[in-house]
Chains A and B, each alone.
Chain A
Amino acid sequence: MRGVSARVRKNGSYGFASDSEYSEASVKRVLELASTNAGFLNERKPLERVLSDRRSAVRNDDGLQASEQADTQAIMSFMTELDEHIKEKYPKLQTRQLVYSGLTMEKLLLTSDDVWSHTLTPRAILVANFFIESKDGSMIDLYDVLGGYGYFSDHFTRVDLLHEKIDELYENVSKKAEGVYAKGGRHTVILDADLAGILAHEAIGHTVEADLVLGGSVAGPNLGKKVASELITLVDYANEAFGERCPVPITVDDEGTVAKDAVLIEDGILVNFMHNRETAAQFEHEPLGNARAYEYTDEPLVRMRNTCIVPGKDKLEDMIASVEDGYYMVGTNNGQADTTSEFMFGVNQGYEIKNGKIGKAIRDTTVSGVAFDVLKTVSMVSDDLIWTCGGMCGKKQMIPVGMGGPAIKCELNVGGR
């Protein structure tokens, strides 16, 4: 899919227009319509708003070539071989699903204040979902997401390279089929990277997006205050973290702002929000490249990029050993959070911890709490960082995001049965 769009600002009013026709004529057309739309608002409800200044011209090219055409033959051949392997090796599986999806976002941005930017972000994801029947006859499922930044050919060259991951998935779904229901209530829990990542994104990240701060999020009055254990530093990385490329690297955002890392919580203190140019001016903060749009039909919104808690100094095995009676939550299949920072995450893979050791697997459950309270209970943070590779965030529009983190030990509510 391709097309063109234009956004025009008159005083504080925005007009936006897009068209699926990709031509010089349609560029002219959407510019005129966007201008008319901005004028329509400016005549009826004039707003006096300023934008943060652009200090200099921006010239950016990610340097990547136009998107790779999907080689359906290679994809089908790979998927068929992988499926045959699973079918043969794991006959106890009731059913299995393999879904490959490739998403490449290519954008050319020009602005009236001298920005020229070409960006290209490819992503290749393979989801393997296994279903197995438990002793009580109910169907138990578990999935894993493989791949990440890049094209199909960057991740899926040989089926045997995935065998280990597939074996792990089968082992985990088998354990889950023999699992028990979690005991509801407040528990000591170790959230592994997936869940720590979604906590950072959903429960904290959204509350510190400046448009939601203006909308009354709980973070607003807490800028400069202690909101978490001093073990917690939380960053929205632009394109690189700890010397490695992030899952969704952003070099220049969709308003033309050069992207920089946004440190949001530092040693437990809330120190910044994420901005577009307008909210940055309102708060007198520096915009760091968080204005992002998904498709050409979408206007830029304040969005996250690659959000995670910064790793600490603890070893995961020591963290588990320190829990007498609790849970080790590993995988999540969804997450929702509130502007109050109250959150709920679905847990599709987890284990009991009894006397410092991993016990029985648990069936699907949820964890919930108030993030700014939960983060104050964090007593250990592991020394590793794992990014999840298939994150999509919905906020009017969908958009790919990176999230991940270390494991954290905290206190929160577990849904029981």
Chain B
Amino acid sequence: MDYKQLAETILEKAKSRGADMAECNVSRETLTEIDSNTGEIQLVRSVAGTNVSIKVITEQRKGTISLNRTDEKSIDEALDHAFKNAKESAPDPAEGISDEQHNGTFQGGKLEPDRDRLFALLDRLLNDVQKEFPHLKLETATIQHKREDSVYTNTNGVLHQTAYGINMITCMFSGNDGENAGSFNYFGIFIPDDCENLLELDGVRRLFGEAEKQVKTETIGEETIGDVVFSPECFTTMLLFAKHILLGDLPLISGTTPLKDKLGQKIVSDKLTWRANPLDERFVLNQHVTNDGYIVEDNLLIEKGVLKNYALSRYGAKASDGKRSGNISDMYVVEPGERSIDEIISGIKRGILVSRFSGGQPASNGDFSGVAKNSFLIEDGKITKALNETMISGNLIELLQNIEALSSSQHGDGARLVPWAQVKGINVTG
């Protein structure tokens, strides 16, 4: 099927029905997946689907609809619904579509799945884990190839076409020595084309090793401990919260973020330089078009502690009188610090290392509280024992203000690069 033609036909129909503005996204996704449970490969899954998303705007009223059919009757019915939805919506002056711009065609990754390679990589991982990590239970390991072909077009003459193919491995696992079971942990990592051994991917051996050590844990008691070292994965979790609660569309539009009107001001530690840059060449896969139809640009959020930009979509910018961001993705790059993680840990008298934060979304003022999962005690510069039932709480802004050190190495899942972070002033209770 010619998706470009379909998208353009839908736009023409929308215009002829009287839309002031309209946009359409047609995408086709195909997924090839191999699943294992407790070390046994049990399922091969193939998913194919087409998705059509339509937005029409009449007199500043928006109507949207999504469907997974492409026949003319279904499209016409969907347009009927979209216009009906628009009619029933309240007028919103912030509504609109992406502006006229240079149109782009982008392609990335291998578009066709190699099922034999996927099987071989997964099979090797299961065998290697059995040999190298005898006390690890790999509850699920799933390898997949995902292809997405997409066309975005709108009545301002914007037309972007993308085609991406990417391989990914996700695992959920825990330590288990036959008598004791540890906390589970998980990861999802994009696989580079030249990868022959999934154990060699950044962080995999470390996370499996940590899980094995979590089989026997101790409590730290009631004592509050000063320093918390966040693993790159866990620090990423805190950054995701910070973006969502403090810098995104919703908190800026509703005015709930304490960082409203703070652009250009120093708000956190000058050790932090944080950007969202889906175009970073070190990533396994790049993203070139935003969900609202703009060519992606680098978005520098915080530079040396100074708030440079929010993470605002076109709509968010209009609705909050702000400036649209170059992208609002979660593909982060955080600049590294000067010392290695080993050096950072060696300088800590007493603290904890946290690999996973188990907690809900923080409150709108940034307060957070949750369990420090897969965590370890640091005493006199050394990791001494695995911990259980340890809670951490604080405030996201204060957390970023109290960064003591960032590691000299950056780590990530193929779509992020984030260092380890040492933070002071987090409440820790056993």
Contact = CB atoms under 8 A, between A and B. Distances in A.
A368 B361 contact: no
B146 interface: no
B69 A366 contact: no
Contacts of A281: none
A368 B389 contact: yes
Interface string B361-386: 11111010111010000000000000
Interface stretch (A40-48, A164-172, A252-260): A40-48
Contacts of A218: 181
A340 B364 contact: no
B184 A339 contact: yes
B46 A18 contact: yes
B370 A366 contact: yes
A1 B67 contact: yes
A65 interface: no
Contacts of B255: 94-95
A22 B363 contact: no
A20 B48 CA distance: 7
A338 B183 contact: yes
A215 interface: yes
A417 B137 contact: no
B37 interface: yes
Interface residues of A, number: 71
Contacts of B43: 13-16, 37, 41, 299
Contact of A214 (B38, B119, B256): B38
A86 interface: no
B426 to A, nearest CB: 11
A224 interface: no
Contacts of A415: 369-370, 391, 393, 429
Nearest to A373: B389
Contacts of B142: 396
B322 interface: no
Interface in A69-115: 72-73, 75-77, 80, 94-95, 97
B41 interface: yes
B68 A369 contact: no
A366 B46 CA distance: 40
A282 to B, nearest CB: 11
A393 to B, nearest CB: 15
B360 A37 contact: no
A56 interface: no
Contacts of B67: 1
Interface residues of B, number: 64
B263 interface: no
Nearest to A278: B42
A370 B389 contact: yes
Contacts of B41: 41, 44-45
B195 interface: no
Q: Which of A1, A80, A218, A340 has the most CB of B within 10 A?
A: A340
Contact of B181 (A1, A216, A417): A216
Contacts of A339: 139, 174, 181, 183-184
Given A16-B44, A44-B119, A366-B371, A334 B360 contact: yes
Interface in B13-37: 34, 37
B358 interface: yes
Contacts of A229: none
Contacts of B84: 72-73
A333 B142 CA distance: 29
Q: Which of A44, A45, A139 has the most CB of B within 10 A?
A: A139
B391 A20 contact: no
B196 to A, nearest CB: 18
A216 B139 contact: yes
B393 A416 contact: yes
Contacts of B388: 342, 370
Nearest to A344: B371
A141 interface: yes
A18 B49 contact: yes
Contact of A80 (B90, B140, B258): B90
A212 interface: yes
A2 interface: yes
B88 A17 contact: no
Contacts of B256: 94-95, 131, 139, 141
A336 interface: yes
A181 B352 CA distance: 24
B46 A184 contact: no
B277 interface: no
Contacts of B34: 41
Nearest to B360: A334
Interface in B26-77: 34, 37-38, 40-51, 66-69
Contacts of A21: 50, 69
A215 B38 contact: yes
B181 A217 contact: yes
B327 interface: no
A290 interface: no
Contacts of A45: 40-41, 123
Given A22-B69, A141-B256, A364 B48 contact: no
Nearest to B175: A216
A366 B47 contact: no
B49 A19 contact: yes
A294 B84 CA distance: 28
Given A72-B84, A340-B181, A366-B359, A16 B45 contact: yes
B222 interface: yes
A297 interface: yes
B42 A364 contact: no
Nearest to B68: A20
A364 B363 contact: yes
B115 interface: yes
Contacts of B181: 216-218, 339-340
A415 B115 CA distance: 47
B329 interface: no
Given A1-B67, A334-B360, A366 B45 contact: no
Nearest to B258: A138
A340 B41 CA distance: 24
A18 B393 CA distance: 44
Contacts of B140: 215, 396
Contacts of B89: 76
Given A17-B46, A338-B184, A346 B389 contact: no
Given A13-B42, A45-B41, A344 B358 contact: yes
A75 to B, nearest CB: 8
B241 to A, nearest CB: 12
Q: Which of B137, B254, B361, B427 has the most CB of A within 10 A?
A: B254
A356 interface: no
A104 B115 CA distance: 35
Q: Which of B37, B139, B181, B393 has the most CB of A within 10 A?
A: B181
Given A45-B40, A345-B360, A417-B394, 8 more contacts: A75-B88, A95-B256, A139-B364, A215-B38, A216-B139, A336-B371, A344-B370, A366-B393
Closest 5 CB pairs of A and B: A334-B360, A215-B139, A346-B360, A37-B44, A20-B49
8 contacts: A38-B44, A218-B181, A338-B184, A339-B174, A342-B388, A345-B360, A346-B361, A415-B370
